[in-house]
């Protein structure tokens, strides 16, 4: 009897033709009202935030939006949970589109050729439709079961469970499985033109439903069984109710990210990754009786940062890569966001340790009533150890599939503590005083900035005025005894390659990077403006830095204050510059360095500026050298050394030191040498090696030092 009737879908099979549509569209109306109200309520909350321009560059925003949302680009970076999410996402998307096709056929007349005019789900299209939806429905259910297993059985540290998580996950699993049960009952019992659908060859394309239909028929629930005809509509109405209950609760559960994460992606930050936001109208704010600098309350966040809070899906990817969290410190970037999100929604605040603080337990501003918009965040939601543990490594932002900007939030909280409240650790005060008074965080005399040049012929810009390369030395190579050797090595490479270069000497002062990351924006801007004015006096084609932090500030942040990077001159990190000299044949590594070398990617040239290949090319050009990588934690996923965000001068608050954890990752293959490319990393790994008894067995050398050894003729 196969293929005696054309493949066709009867939409309201076994459903009362009046009650079914009325019930369905009643649900649609109610759900639309509830969902719209919830979304508008959330938008109203975002609008309480401060203004922020996030609407420019529409083509770029749209292109990246499509790649991230429909290509799941960032989601798939973490392979296992990314694959799980992709199964759910693409399965859900297919079922959503499939449901829309049914709605279009039911409510709109679509001209078709043939006897089945006005039908979409007919013939070959319907057969393909059933095959695709059964396959992707199965994918959807598999992803949900995987998610449930991970959340409630495996339970990785980065996940936390709240009551409505189980509700939403359970509803989705019910919808996936329920859809197949409804399909199976229909195939087992439906008759078209007197012919059972089950007997048709095309029914087998709905292979999941057909398998269930076979089982139903075997237990007496086929061929128009009264029991089957009673169970089917019960399941249909329940399935419809659950579907729209899920949609209606979206703005009220963590699954709001289905709506808000794509929106947040569209409004993502398009400025350079290494540039923190400048405080708008800083001078005007300072002149006020009560200036608003940084973030002290929920009301100080911009509308985009408030949108971040609702886009968070609590996946914990940010936490899983956070070096501070790995050390056992109080900080978790995930809980920075979720605590703010709890407050924004006027819900009890859930902390990293699992404790819960009701709103009534929070301390309002002095003399004020409890108001979530004016509630002091420091002391209520965040502690000193939590906010100062951040190394600003950007790993959290890099991993976040919702495009949340954790680092900016933390720095903004620091800004208020530093510039308004003056509530900062003593170590922070010392660093800021050093930058302000001596022009360096080491608090050493500015007149000693060029002491490292003793015995070398190092010209200054004041002497030459016009050069090809301005070598920006930085504070660490100027004052730190170990990092001075790197500056000397760099000068010798310049000389060996015949580079026309000079330094600023005592005209150079701190770029202000530590001040900005510690929250002292006014001091940073003063340093930036001073350095910019100094550089304007001279002519050069490139600025070359051995400090990843100086490189990032001059390249990405000085343009906010009139710097001309990328216009009048190019800013180049020394690893890029050295690799370029080797490629151009201006220096040639010839002397063998017979060592196994592990390279550590500094955050401020790696994740912030995407410099990964040049350091490796420079090392790989050296005869005898074997380059090894830290398993999994290399390139864009490299763990921070622990020195960023001012932490190179602070005592860690975790149970273990971040630099020791990172040292263990880098020495998995037992290298002879760590190759470094940032003086902060050098300081941190010098300490880690000494504290773990590896001072004599593990060398710590900058790439410039290793390259210099290879291009220097062997003695004798």
Domain ranges across the chain: 58-264, 276-424, 435-711
pLDDT for the residue 565: 85
Distances (CA, A) of 623 to 464, 512, 709: 37, 39, 11
Q: Tokens at residue 586, please?
A: 């201006």
Positive or negative torsion for Cα 263, 259, 157, 340: positive
pLDDT for the residue 542: 96
Distances (CA, A) of 484 to 453, 490, 544, 624: 9, 10, 16, 27
Contact partners, residue 379, CB within 8 Å, separation at least 6 = 363
Distances (CA, A) of 48 to 183, 297, 302, 337, 692: 47, 12, 8, 17, 50
pLDDT for the residue 716: 43
Query: What's the CA gap between 606 and 613, in Å, rounded?
Result: 10
pLDDT for the residue 714: 60
List the chain residues with pLDDT less than 70: 1-4, 107-118, 713-716
pLDDT for the residue 161: 86
In 10 A of CB 421, how many CB atoms?
13
Q: Which fold has domain 58-264?
A: Fumarate Reductase Cytochrome B subunit (1.20.950)
pLDDT for the residue 2: 47
- Reduced to 3 states (helix: H, G, I; strand: E, B; else coil), residue 675 is strand
What CATH number is given for 276-424 in this structure?
Answer: 1.10.1060
Query: Identical fold at 58-264 and 276-424?
Result: no
Query: What's the CA gap between 432 and 434, in Å, rounded?
Result: 5
pLDDT for the residue 715: 54
Distances (CA, A) of 455 to 431, 451, 485, 557: 30, 10, 12, 34
Paired residues of 701 in beta bridges:
675
Percentage helix, strand, coil, to 5, in the chain?
55, 5, 35
């Amino acid at each position: 009897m196969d293929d005696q009737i054309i493949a066709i879908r009867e939409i309201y099979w076994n459903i009362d033709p009046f009650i079914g549509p009325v019930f369905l569209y009643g649900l649609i109306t109610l759900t639309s009202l509830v969902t719209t109200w919830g979304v508008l309520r959330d938008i109203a909350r975002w609008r309480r935030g401060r203004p922020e321009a996030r609407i420019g560059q529409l083509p770029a925003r749209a292109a990246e939006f499509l790649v991230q949302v429909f290509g799941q680009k960032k989601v798939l970076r973490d392979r296992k949970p990314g694959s799980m999410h992709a199964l759910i996402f693409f399965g859900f998307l297919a079922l959503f589109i499939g449901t829309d096709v049914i709605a279009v056929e039911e409510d709109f007349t679509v001209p078709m050729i043939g006897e089945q005019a006005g039908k979409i789900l007919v013939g070959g299209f319907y057969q393909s439709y059933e095959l695709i939806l059964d396959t992707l429905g199965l994918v959807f259910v598999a992803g949900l079961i995987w998610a449930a297993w991970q959340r409630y059985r495996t339970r990785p540290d980065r996940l936390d469970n709240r009551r409505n998580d189980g509700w939403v996950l359970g509803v989705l699993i019910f919808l996936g499985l329920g859809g197949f049960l409804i399909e199976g009952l229909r195939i087992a019992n439906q008759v078209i033109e007197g012919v059972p659908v089950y007997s048709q060859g095309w029914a087998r394309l709905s292979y999941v439903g057909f398998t269930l239909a076979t089982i139903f028929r075997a237990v007496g629930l086929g061929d128009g069984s009264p029991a089957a005809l009673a169970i089917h509509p019960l399941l249909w109405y329940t399935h419809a109710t659950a579907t729209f209950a899920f949609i209606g609760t979206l703005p009220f559960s963590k699954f709001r990210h289905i709506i808000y994460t794509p929106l947040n992606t569209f409004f993502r930050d398009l400025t350079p990754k290494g540039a923190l936001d400048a405080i708008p109208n800083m001078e005007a704010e300072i002149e006020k009786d009560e200036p608003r600098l940084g973030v002290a309350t929920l009301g100080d966040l911009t509308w985009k940062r408030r949108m971040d809070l609702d886009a968070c899906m609590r996946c914990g990817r940010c936490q899983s890569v956070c070096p501070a969290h790995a050390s056992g410190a109080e900080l978790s970037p995930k809980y920075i966001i979720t605590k703010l999100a709890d407050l924004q929604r006027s819900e009890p605040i859930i902390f990293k340790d699992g404790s819960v603080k009701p709103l009534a337990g929070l301390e309002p501003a002095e003399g004020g009533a409890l108001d979530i918009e004016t509630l002091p965040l420091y002391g209520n939601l965040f502690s000193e150890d939590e906010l100062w543990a951040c190394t600003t490594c950007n790993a959290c932002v890099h991993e976040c599939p919702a495009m949340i900007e954790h680092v900016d939030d933390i720095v903004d909280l620091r800004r208020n503590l530093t510039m308004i409240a003056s509530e900062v650790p003593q170590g922070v005060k010392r660093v800021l005083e050093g930058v302000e008074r001596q022009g360096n965080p080491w608090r050493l005399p500015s007149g000693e900035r060029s002491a490292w040049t003793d015995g070398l012929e190092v010209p200054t810009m004041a002497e030459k005025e016009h050069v090809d390369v301005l070598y920006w030395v930085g504070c660490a190579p100027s004052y730190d005894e170990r990092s001075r050797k790197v500056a000397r090595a760099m000068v010798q490479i310049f000389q060996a390659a015949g580079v026309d270069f000079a330094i600023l000497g005592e005209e150079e002062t701190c770029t202000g990077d530590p001040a900005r990351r510690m929250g002292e924006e006014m001091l940073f801007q003063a340093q930036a403006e001073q350095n910019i004015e100094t550089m304007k006096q001279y002519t050069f084609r490139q600025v070359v830095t051995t400090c990843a932090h100086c490189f990032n500030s001059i390249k990405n942040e000085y343009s906010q204050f009139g710097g001309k990077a990328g216009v009048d001159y190019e800013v180049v990190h020394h690893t890029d510059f050295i690799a370029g000299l080797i490629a151009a044949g201006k220096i040639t590594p010839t002397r063998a360095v017979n060592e196994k070398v592990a390279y550590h990617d500094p955050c401020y040239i790696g994740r912030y500026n995407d410099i990964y290949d040049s350091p490796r090319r420079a090392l790989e050009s050296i005869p005898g050298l074997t380059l090894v990588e830290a398993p999994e934690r290399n390139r864009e996923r490299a763990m921070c050394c622990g020195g960023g965000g001012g932490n190179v001068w602070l005592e860690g608050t975790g149970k273990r030191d971040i630099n020791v954890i990172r040292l263990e990752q880098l020495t998995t293959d037992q290298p002879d040498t760590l190759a470094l490319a940032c003086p902060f990393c050098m300081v941190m790994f010098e300490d880690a090696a000494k504290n773990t008894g590896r001072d004599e067995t593990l060398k710590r050398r900058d790439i410039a030092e290793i390259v210099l050894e290879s291009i220097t003729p062997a003695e004798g």
